[in-house]
Structures are given as C-alpha cells and as structure tokens.
Chain A
Amino acid sequence: MRFSKNFISMVILLLFTMFVAVGCSGKQGASEPTTKQSGGSKKIVIGAALPDFDDKWLSYLQDGMKEYAKTQKDVEVIYVDAMNDASKQLSQVENFIQQKVDAIVLIPVDTVSAPEMIDKANQANIPIVVVNRIFDGVDKATAYVGSESIKSGIMQMEEVAKILGGKGNIAIMNGQMGHEAQIKRTEGNKEVIKKYPNMKVVLEGTAEWDRAKGMSLMENWLNSGKNIDAVVANNDEMAIGAIMALEDAGKLDDVVVAGIDATPDALEYVKSGKLKVTVFQNARGQGQGGLETAIKAAKGEKVEKFNWIPYELVTKDNVEEYIKKWQ
C-alpha cells in the first residue's frame, strides 16, 4: 500500500515535470499583434493560422508567405502555431476575429473542424483564405489556394508513359485506401492510362504509404510471374520500397519506378537514376498565393474562389534544383 502511494506520487511528479518541460520548450505561439490601425495609416494585418511550425514542408510554405510579405508595403502578418491541435487552432482563429484582423490565412490542422472556423470568420465578416488542405464545404471560405491532387497523378503517369513510349504493363501501388490523396492520385494515373490503348494496369495493390510494405508488395508482385514495365506509386516512400525489392531481384533496369512528393530521400534516388519520376508540390508557391489572395480580399478586391498552384515534375534532369530546396 505504501509502495503504491509512493509510486503514484512518483508518476504524478514525472508527469508534472514533463508538462513543465513541454511548456518551456513550446514556442511563443500567439504573439500579440503590435499596434494596428493606431493612427490614420492603413496597415493591413493578416492572421496566418498554421498547423505545425516543425513540419519541414509547411516551413517552406511559411517561407513563401514571408518572402511575399516583404515585397508588400504596409502589410503585417501574424503567424500562430497550432502544434497540430485542432481545438488550439480554433481558439487562435477566434483570437484573430477578436483582434479584428483584416483577413485570415488558414491551413487547417484537420479538415473536420475547419468548416466551423470558416463560419466564425464569415459571421464576423472577415475574409478567410484556406490553403493546402481541401475539404467539402471549403467553398464557404473566401478562397482556396492549393494544388489539385489528381493533377499530380496525371503528371506522374504522363511522364511514365513518355518514358515507356506509350505502351506497357503498369502496376499501381496505392496509399492507404480511402485517403483523399490515394483516390485522386490513382484516378489521375488511370485517366492517363486510358488514353493509351497499349498500356494497361496489370497489378494494383496497397502498401499504405509505407516503405516496408511497398517492398513486400513488390516482392510478391515479382513472384506473380506477371510482366511489369512500370511501378507507379502514390508516394515516394512506397516507390523506394519497390526500388529496393527490384534491386534485390536484379530487375531494376527493366522497370520504371515513379513516386510523388519529392522527399529528400526520394531526390537522392532520382539523382542516382533509380527513381525515374517524382512530383513536387510547390510549398512556397502555395504560401505566396495564399497570402496574395488574402491581401487582395482584405483590400476588398475580387478574388477567384479556387486558385490552383501547379505541381512540378522532377526527373534526373532537374533534380539538383529540388535538392537545394530542402537544404
């Protein structure tokens, strides 16, 4: 009994220390806005609600916003970090509304809670621009800026078709079934394949975005006895898994492998010629486009509802340029 009491107090102490440590290491998220429209100056204040400052890809998006903000006169952007907590993000958006910012840029932590934030901004008559993460009901926001998932699948598959000369057996490696990116990317792949009568899908399976599972799936496919000319994967990690299995079997030279995302690891594989194709989602472009649209909306100018930032194709020819982006 005495032991268990000690034990419980120890646990509580441990938890307490952890919370303090976490609290201290936390960033100064919601910095108070400095003076706003104090005098007659017409400074535009934009509130940018980001899900996670630690995410590398999103940090490039934020860089895009910062670079664009520098080019604008009389614009102040307040960045807040929701630390991937949807309820925290909601209160941050509420704070923006209370502060009466001129417009809000929102990258939702999750797309379930996002419509509520849009409603609140609409009620307060503050323009809200959603960036990067699309969902049903996004049309209630002032505007959406992002890339269209299906386009990445189309771009990826078109390059593969070009390499194969418009004919061949395709194996499609899906991400987690039912994810928006899985559905759209595969849909894009198949749209292209349909255009070529000599190209067909001979195998289709899921490796749940995972490298180890991509490797296993590829090993099984190699044992299926089916002739495969290209493996088209919904993301780079699965594509790398497929490459490793093909290398093991000594068949990498016969098969074209393509991924999406242009992760740092994948770019190394592109550089060495093992991964033939990947697709880059333009983070800076989305950040810049998001802020640009928000400023326009704050000034009362008319904005397009949907603003698509194009994907970029990465092959061995231009890979160096993208490797630099991650450094």
Chain B
Amino acid sequence: MNSQVSIVNKQEKSKSAVSSKERVSRILHKYGMLMILIALIILMSFLSPTFFTTGNLLNIVRQMSVVGIVAIGVTIVIITTGIDLSSGSVIALVSVVAASFAHPDTYPFFVPILIGLGLGLLTGVINGTIISKAKIAPFIVTLGMMTAARGAALLFSDGRPIGNLSDSFKFIGQGAVFGIPVPIIIFAFVGVVSYILLNKTKFGKYVYAIGGNEQAAIIAGVNVDKYKIFVYGYAGLLSGLAGIILTSRISSGQPTAGVMYELDAIAAAVIGGTSLAGGIGTIGGTIVGALIIGVMNNGLDLLNVSPYWQQILKGVIITVAVFIDSRKNRKS
C-alpha cells in the first residue's frame, strides 16, 4: 500500500521534469523482453544478411508455434504455482494415436483431430485431478505423466513411426492460407483465446488469485480444485493440439517426438516474465519468450555456429535475459 501511495505522490510532484524518466522505466518494465527480442532481431540482421526476410521470419514463427502453443498452456499452469512436465510426452502420445486415425480413405480429417485433442485433455484432467484431489505436488504428478505417456506412446506404436497420412490431415501442419502457414494461424488463435480467458473472464481472475495466495482464494470461496483441473486440462488440450500440428507437419506419428519440449515451453514462459513463484505471467510475454528462443535457434543455425557452442550460448542468453528482466522489476 505504502509503496503505491509513494509512487502516486512522486508522480504528482514531478509531473513535468521526472515524468519522462518514469515513463521510460515503466515502458521498460512492461516491454523489457519485447525490447530484448527486437535487439536480438536487429543483431541477427546485421550478422546474417538473409535473416530479416519475410520467408525466414515466417519460418521462425512457424517453427516456434508448436512449442509456443504448449508454452501458453504451461504459463497458465505456472501462474497457479504449478508446473507441467508432461507436455512433450503427451505430444508423442497424441502424435501416434492421431496418426493411426489419419490414414487416407479411413476417417475424415476431423476424427484424428478430435481424438488427439480429447486425449490431450484427458491427460491434463488426470494431472489436475490427482494434483487437486490427492494433494500431490504438480512436479511429481506431471513427472509421472511424462514417463507414463511416453511409455504409452511407445507401447501404442510398437516403438515405430506411423506414416501414410491423408492430405487433408497434412494441411494442418503444412498448408497455408493467404501465404500464412496454418500452424501460425492456430498459434495466433490460441494466443487470442488464451488472452481473453486470462484477462476477461472469471476463470482468469481466479487463476491469478490462486497463484497469488491459494489460501486467500479458498477463503474467498473460489473452488480451487475445480479451477486447477481446468487449468491442467487446458494445458493438456494445448499439448494435444501441438501434437496434432507436429504430426501433420512431419507427416508421421512419432513415439519419440517432443523430447524436451516441456523444458523449452517452461523456458519460453519464464523468459516471458512468468514467475515460477506463481501469480505473475502474461500470454503476450510468453509469446515473446517463445520468439526469443526461436530467433536464437534460427540465427545460430544461419550463422553456422557449432552445435556445442549453440547449447552454451542458448543457456547464457536465457539466463542473461531473465536476469536483466528481474533487475528491471526490482528497480521499478
């Protein structure tokens, strides 16, 4: 309370002289990561003449749309102080199951999509139910799901990729509408829907309330268990969607797909300003976080940086980006 009052006072006192400085710091606070993304893009454009072309920029967003969609679900989970480690394995499970329903001349293309989405949702609801009802830590429950879903994917597919998919199913990952790849359109759609969910609905208000102080939310009469199941269910649904896009994109259901995607997704969320302590995080931030990872992957490939160095650089950039962001938060 006090700090808020003092900020207001300060603003009033120095309306003319200091306010521009204040404004800069506020803009920095809100858009810091976006500026880091822009700085990275400018840097890469100087280093590689082919980086800043429409084709390559679309390429980056398309490559990140699978992890980006997962990251949006994970962001909402992390806001409730949870975590979801199962995303990558759920992608693999959905991939092989959806692929087996997507052979040409068997089912219409929406059947594998609905089955994939349903399966993703189911895994999420199982996560959420165990976490909220049995009161087991999300880390453990989703770690269990990560292992079990991977096993189920291998079991279902006998450890082998499932190919021969129909053209209509392949359109989801490989098609384009008005020159924009379908995965990007789906990514944007998920971003908008999730933004509305989180900012314009009761659901969103409760998600932040649970993350800010779960006990207070319970006392205030929020059905925390129900909303947690929603949150993990939604994350599972988005993992399922990501699995469908990936499968369609590579024309094959792969039991080994999605390895480490959960960590990329968590990294995107955290780079985008989501706090692992809960209560803080935005969809826009996560999308920026995902794009930062995408720009790095792409730029380092374009520059032909050795695969060993790529890993080190990625680690350093992620840490530095979050460090800058956290210092900025502290100052303002």
The distance in angstroms between the C-alpha atoms of A205 and B310, with both chains bound, is: 9
Instruction: Decide: B304 and A210 in contact? CB cutoff 8 A.
Output: no
Given contacts A54-B159, A210-B256, A223-B302, contact A215 B249 (CB under 8 A): yes
The distance in angstroms between the C-alpha atoms of A5 and B249, with both chains bound, is: 45
User: How near does chain A come to B130, taking the closest CB pair, in angstroms?
Assistant: 9
Q: Which residues of A contact B301 (CB under 8 A)?
A: 205, 217, 220-221, 224
Q: Which residues of B contact A220 (CB under 8 A)?
A: 59, 63, 297-298, 301-302
The distance in angstroms between the C-alpha atoms of A174 and B302, with both chains bound, is: 16
Q: How large is the interface on A (under 10, 10 to 19, 20 to 34, 35 or more residues)?
A: 35 or more
The distance in angstroms between the C-alpha atoms of A174 and B307, with both chains bound, is: 9
User: How near does chain A come to B134, taking the closest CB pair, in angstroms?
Assistant: 6
Spot the interface stretch: B35-43, B45-53, B271-279. Answer: B45-53
The distance in angstroms between the C-alpha atoms of A198 and B161, with both chains bound, is: 38
Q: Which residues of B contact A212 (CB under 8 A)?
A: 66, 246, 249-250, 254, 257
Instruction: Decide: A223 and B251 in contact? CB cutoff 8 A.
Output: no
Instruction: Decide: A177 and B308 in contact? CB cutoff 8 A.
Output: yes
Closest chain A residue, CB of each to CB of B181:
A248
Instruction: Decide: B251 and A216 in contact? CB cutoff 8 A.
Output: no
Q: Which residues of B contact A202 (CB under 8 A)?
A: 304
CB of A23 within 8 Å of the partner chain: no
Given contacts A54-B159, A220-B297, contact A225 B246 (CB under 8 A): no
CB of A184 within 8 Å of the partner chain: no
CB of B239 within 8 Å of the partner chain: no
Q: Mark B50-62, 1 if CB is under 8 A from A, else 0.
A: 1101011001000
The distance in angstroms between the C-alpha atoms of A327 and B307, with both chains bound, is: 37
The distance in angstroms between the C-alpha atoms of A203 and B301, with both chains bound, is: 9
CB of A208 within 8 Å of the partner chain: yes
CB of A219 within 8 Å of the partner chain: yes
The distance in angstroms between the C-alpha atoms of A217 and B297, with both chains bound, is: 9
Main secondary structure of the interface of A (DSSP, over half): helix
Instruction: Decide: B53 and A210 in contact? CB cutoff 8 A.
Output: no
CB of A67 within 8 Å of the partner chain: no
Q: Which residues of A contact B63 (CB under 8 A)?
A: 216, 219-220
User: How near does chain A come to B304, taking the closest CB pair, in angstroms?
Assistant: 5
The distance in angstroms between the C-alpha atoms of A122 and B300, with both chains bound, is: 50
Instruction: Decide: A56 and B160 in contact? CB cutoff 8 A.
Output: yes
Closest chain B residue, CB of each to CB of A206:
B307
CB of B133 within 8 Å of the partner chain: yes
Q: Which residues of A contact B259 (CB under 8 A)?
A: 208, 210
The distance in angstroms between the C-alpha atoms of A156 and B55, with both chains bound, is: 32
Instruction: Decide: A224 and B302 in contact? CB cutoff 8 A.
Output: yes
Instruction: Decide: B174 and A216 in contact? CB cutoff 8 A.
Output: no
Q: Which residues of B contact A119 (CB under 8 A)?
A: none
Q: Mark B264-306, 1 if CB is under 8 A from A, else 0.
A: 0000000000000000000000000000000001100111101
Q: Which residues of B contact A177 (CB under 8 A)?
A: 307-308, 311
Q: Mark A1-12, 1 if CB is under 8 A from B, else 0.
A: 001100110010
The distance in angstroms between the C-alpha atoms of A217 and B53, with both chains bound, is: 17
Q: Mark B157-181, 1 if CB is under 8 A from A, else 0.
A: 0111101000000000010000000
Instruction: Decide: B308 and A265 in contact? CB cutoff 8 A.
Output: no
Interface residues of B in 227-249 (CB under 8 A from A): 246, 249
Closest chain B residue, CB of each to CB of A215:
B250
Closest chain A residue, CB of each to CB of B51:
A223
The distance in angstroms between the C-alpha atoms of A268 and B163, with both chains bound, is: 11
Q: Which residues of B contact A55 (CB under 8 A)?
A: 159
User: How near does chain A come to B2, taking the closest CB pair, in angstroms?
Assistant: 42
Q: Which residues of B contact A225 (CB under 8 A)?
A: 48-50
CB of A274 within 8 Å of the partner chain: no
User: How near does chain A come to B139, taking the closest CB pair, in angstroms?
Assistant: 18
CB of A204 within 8 Å of the partner chain: yes
User: How near does chain B come to A200, taking the closest CB pair, in angstroms?
Assistant: 12
Q: Which residues of B contact A268 (CB under 8 A)?
A: 163
Q: Which residues of A contact B161 (CB under 8 A)?
A: 211, 237, 265
Closest chain A residue, CB of each to CB of B91:
A212
Closest chain A residue, CB of each to CB of B311:
A177
CB of B87 within 8 Å of the partner chain: no
CB of A108 within 8 Å of the partner chain: no
Instruction: Decide: A244 and B246 in contact? CB cutoff 8 A.
Output: no
The distance in angstroms between the C-alpha atoms of A174 and B158, with both chains bound, is: 25
Q: Mark A143-173, 1 if CB is under 8 A from B, else 0.
A: 0000000000000000000000000000000
Q: Which residues of B contact A209 (CB under 8 A)?
A: 256
* A and B contact pairs by CB, cutoff 8 A, 21 listed: A3-B133, A4-B135, A7-B134, A54-B158, A56-B159, A177-B307, A205-B301, A205-B307, A206-B307, A212-B246, A212-B257, A215-B250, A220-B297, A223-B56, A224-B48, A224-B302, A225-B48, A241-B250, A244-B250, A265-B161, A268-B163
Residues of A within 8 A of B (CB): 3-4, 7-8, 11, 54-56, 174, 177, 202-206, 208-212, 215-217, 219-221, 223-226, 237, 241, 244, 248, 264-265, 268
* 8 A-B pairs closest in CB distance: A220-B301, A206-B307, A225-B50, A223-B56, A224-B302, A211-B250, A216-B63, A212-B250
* Contacts A216-B297, A221-B302, A223-B59 known; 13 new A-B pairs at CB < 8 A: A3-B133, A4-B134, A56-B159, A177-B307, A203-B304, A215-B250, A219-B63, A220-B298, A221-B301, A224-B301, A224-B302, A225-B50, A268-B163
